[in-house]
Amino acid sequence: MPVVSMMSLSDNPPLVGVSCGLSHSTTKTIIKAKRFSVSWLDLSHVPEMERMVAIPGSKTTDKLKAAGLHHHRGRALQTPVIDEATAYLECAVVDRYTLGDHELIVGVVREAKATADFRDYWTFSDYRPILYVGSPDRFRVYEPGRSRD
Ligand SMILES: Cc1cc2nc3c(=O)[nH]c(=O)nc-3n(C[C@H](O)[C@H](O)[C@H](O)COP(=O)(O)O)c2cc1C
């Protein structure tokens, strides 16, 4: 599922956190599998992200495929890693905190891969991040240089 709430929690050990709605099928899958992957998609993949929100995981056996994305098993934990990802992490769940209607899932990074754009300070010369600016009627992202409608 698309997430905005993913955050870096610790460098050593390498920990990340994702706040996941308890009703989402992705959350249930992560809790059951005790592992997950995080992928960074380029702006060119906004249509697939839109489809990921429109297609409930509970109604399909392969939500990524249904959204138009491809995936393979990661080397470290065999989590589904998106082929189209510019960068990804494979994480094992090490902690969970229930916070109201969300679960803060903490993962230790077991495998990380990224293009050179993700060096120490993210300068992004080729990768174009998806900057979600929301909207109740349709999915909107911020595109530098493009005026808002
Ligand atoms: C840009 C964007 C960011 C989102 N971020 C989160 C998030 O951080 N946590 C979350 O629980 N849901 C988030 N959502 C909502 C889920 O991605 C959405 O409900 C998804 O369809 C759940 O699918 P599932 O039920 O198949 O798991 C986000 C949605 C969008 C469009």
93 touches 4 (CB < 8 A): no
Asked whether the predicted pLDDT for residue 147 surpasses 80, the reply is no
pLDDT at residue number 21: 98
Residue-wise pLDDT tens digits, 92-145: 999 999 999 999 999 999 999 999 998 877 788 999 999 988 876 777 888 877
Task: Please give the Cα distance from 22 to 97 (Å, whole number).
Answer: 11
Ligand 1: lining residues by beta carbon, under 6 Å: 1-5, 19-21, 24-26, 53, 56-57, 63, 132
Residue 82: Cβ within 10 Å count: 20
Residue nearest to atom 30 of ligand 1 (CA): 2
Beta bridge pairs of residue 92:
35, 108
59, 69, 70, 50: which is closest to 2 by C-alpha?
50
Asked whether the predicted pLDDT for residue 149 surpasses 70, the reply is no
pLDDT at residue number 137: 72
Rounded to the nearest integer, the mean pLDDT of the chain is 93
State which ligand 1 atom lies nearest to the alpha carbon of 18: 8
Backbone angles phi, psi at 9, to 5 degrees: -110, -30
For ligand 1, mutation pick of 16, 23, 24, 46 (most atoms within 8 Å of CB): 24
The alpha carbon dihedral of 83, 89, 92, 93 has a sign of negative
pLDDT band at 148 (very low <50, low <70, confident <90, very high): low
Backbone angles phi, psi at 48, to 5 degrees: -65, -35
Residue 144: Cβ within 10 Å count: 8
Task: Please give the Cα distance from 117 to 125 (Å, whole number).
Answer: 6
CA 20–ligand 1 middle distance (angstroms): 8
85 touches 74 (CB < 8 A): no
143, 147, 115, 139: which is closest to 51 by C-alpha?
139
Q: Give this prediction's pTM.
A: 0.94
